Chain A
Amino acid sequence: MPLLEARDVHGGYGGMNILNGVNMAIEADEIGVIVGPNGAGKSTMLKAVFGLLTVSQGEILLRGEPIHNLPPNKLVQKGMGFIPQEKNVFPSLSVKENLEMGAFLKPQNTRRMLKQVYDFFPPLYDKRHQPAGELSGGQRQMVAMGRALMAEPELLLLDEPTAGLSPLYMNEIFERVKEINAAGVGILMVEQNAKQALAIADKGFVLAAGQNRFTDTGAALLADPEVARSFLGG
């Protein structure tokens, strides 16, 4: 049974459909990457998975259990973590407090997970008492990822984690995503840096106009000349 499965998902905001039948499936140990041109519905699909958007047709299953239109806090309980693209930290809370909020539903795990997250992102330990709003973009992304990891999710959703970051941080974030996945967390992420993202992807979903254009393994999509020509800039 796939960890996450989406079947013919339709949905959008205020009666206007952005998703017109998206299908995807990822296994528990896989990295799934959604790429595609602007306005293809990439982030919208991620929001639909996380219950931030009304799914009007089709279904989304987590380990075979329908989850579409459940509120986010229920999905967190079911083992899903979400890292939005923007505003992904609590700016006036300290780094440590940000992380603690990630374990809000499992307070008994806070101490153990804090140690794990600090080990995973050493810079956060040094800045643990600093307000997250004062950190650089890359460190803020680490706080955001750390916060999501605090809940020990089975599936982590990342919306453009490298947007606006310098190439140095970009590589670091991709490395970290790979490591998180290697630790047994399923990943579904939306990325603008399609080539780099597909390079680490087990599954790639190329969306256009709210529908799947290509669905294959990351490597196969990278090798496909048609995908390269139309979506990866040659």
Chain B
Amino acid sequence: MNELVFFINNVVIAGSVTGSIYAIGAVGVTLVFSIMRFAHFAHADMMTFGAFMVLLLTAAFPGVGAAVGLPTAIVMLPLAMVLTALLAVGIDKAFYKPLRAHGVKPIVMVIGSLGVTLMLQGLIRLFAGTSGQSLYIGERKEIFRLALPFEGVRAPIVITEPQIILFVLTFACVVGLHLFLNRSRLGKAMRAMSDNPDLARASGINTNTIVAVTWVIAGGLAAIAGTLLSLDVTFKPDLSFFLLLPIFAAAIVGGVGHPYGAIAGGFVVGFAETLAVFNWAVLLRPFRDSLPEWLAQAGNLAFVGTEYKIVVPFFILVAILVWRPTGLFKGKVI
């Protein structure tokens, strides 16, 4: 039973945490692609920007959270989402819109977004420094230890406060996005534009409005993902940048342009990563006596070492591109 608890802590919870963050990130990437038809590489640094805004706001008003019983960072999150959404709309106006007006090829937009990502990263470093900082300023990260009521189980299930908030917010984002895309007039227009931009224009849909709405949503979601990631670990200027690959892998696995696919893809990549670095030897321990010696003696049976975790999304990405380029949900080919 202790082994099972170990599995829950290290795979179920850890995988859900990683998966949730990838999912929220990938939804943003996929929405931007479905409306503007380019891979937006600056998405990860928009996530960092959101977390950075939370850091600034938390530092400015440290006591606020205690008043409502939530971490201050979470109380500041809505404001950070607004600021990140404004940044996203501003970046579009300043950099992508002129490119679109020239009718450039998508690859030019992609390179443009690489420039934006470097610029954002530089700016954040300039003000935040390069070292890690906790978003818990003068507060304690709550850690919940749930002991299981079984005999012989000594290890508790461990889950932290930001992880619980992450699950709740991920669920809320998915439900909110679903309702927005399927029930609201703007959401449907967004799907219409993703389906057939010319016909959307011919129906009287103002495509500039849809583009702006897309950036607002992408920016807001990026702020959520970046903040929750930084709460789970610590804030660093390059934290989200290293998630760029898994997030794109998630979007492609799910089928580019498919919000639900991106969510599924996020969890697929997240769990694949956690399962690949999980030490399976632990689960074999109870059966040690009935196993062949070479298996029973093995100390570490992980597929890859934690330090090589990044190869997993890489592998999934390549495999999907080779064998199923449209992704699980039949998306577009980047």
Q: Which residues of A contact B (CB under 8 A)?
A: 50, 71-73, 76-77, 82, 84, 87-93, 97-98, 100-102, 104-105, 107, 147, 151
Knowing A101-B188, A104-B185, A107-B185 are in contact, say whether A91-B196 is a contact too (CB < 8 A). Answer: yes
The 7 A-B pairs with the shortest beta carbon distances in the complex, nearest first, are A76-B204, A90-B195, A105-B204, A90-B192, A82-B202, A101-B203, A73-B204
Q: What chain B residues lie within 8 Å of A84 (beta carbons)?
A: 198-199, 202
Complex CA distance for A89 and B192, rounded to whole angstroms: 9
Among A76, A91, A92, A107, contact of B203 (Cβ-Cβ < 8 Å): A76
Whole-angstrom CA separation of A107 from B204 in the bound complex: 12
> Inside 8 A of B201's CB, which chain A residues have their CB?
71-73
Cβ-based interface call for B205 (8 A): yes
Known: A104-B185, A107-B185. A147 touches B203 (CB 8 A): yes
**Which residues, 308 to 323 on B, are CB-close (under 8 Å) to A?**
none
CB-nearest residue of chain A to B205: A104
- B191 interfacial by beta-carbon distance below 8 Å: yes
B188 contacts A76, C-beta separation under 8 Å:
no
Residues of the A chain whose Cβ atoms lie less than 8 Å from the Cβ of B196: 87, 89-91
In the bound complex, CA of A84 to CA of B202 (Å): 9
| Residue ID in chain B nearest A77 by CB atoms | B204
- Cβ 8 A contact of B199, one of A87, A97, A107: A87
B202 near A104 (CB under 8 angstroms)?
Answer: no
Q: Are B203 and A104 in contact (CB under 8 A)?
A: yes
Q: 14 additional contacts, CB 8 Å, given A87-B198, A151-B203?
A: A71-B201, A72-B201, A72-B202, A76-B203, A84-B199, A90-B199, A91-B196, A92-B194, A93-B195, A100-B185, A102-B203, A104-B203, A147-B203, A151-B204
> For B199, what are the chain A residues with a Cβ–Cβ distance below 8 Å?
84, 87-90
Chain B residues with CB under 8 Å of A91's CB are 195-196
What is the bound-complex CA distance between A57 and B200, given in angstroms? 28
User: Nearest-CB distance from B252 to chain A (Å)?
Assistant: 18
Within B158-205, the residues touching A (CB, 8 Å) are 185, 188-189, 191-192, 194-196, 198-205
Q: Give the shortest distance, in Å, between B327 (CB) and chain A (any CB).
A: 14
B306 at the interface (CB under 8 A from A): no
How many angstroms between the C-alpha atoms of A119 and B202 in the bound complex? 24
Closest B residue by C-beta to A71 = B201
* In the bound complex, CA of A89 to CA of B202 (Å): 11
Q: How far is the CA of A90 from the CA of B192 in the complex (A)?
A: 6
At the interface, yes or no: B206 with Cβ under 8 Å from chain A? yes
The answer for the CA separation of A105 and B189 in the assembled complex, in Å, is: 11
Q: How far is the CA of A147 from the CA of B203 in the complex (A)?
A: 8
Contact B206 A73 (CB under 8 A): yes
A82 and B198 CA atoms in complex are apart in Å by 11
Which residue of chain A lies nearest to B182 when distances are taken between CB atoms in the complex?
A97
Q: Which chain A positions have C-beta within 8 A of B195?
A: 90-93
Q: Decide: B189 and A101 in contact? CB cutoff 8 A.
A: yes
Interchain CA distance A88-B281 in the complex, whole Å? 57
Contact of B188 among A77, A93, A147 (CB under 8 A): A93
Q: How far is the CB of A220 from chain B (nearest CB, A)?
A: 32
Which B194-222 residues have C-beta < 8 A from chain A? 194-196, 198-207
- What separation, in Å, do the CA atoms of A77 and B200 have in the docked complex? 14
Q: Are B192 and A50 in contact, with the CB atoms below 8 A? A: no
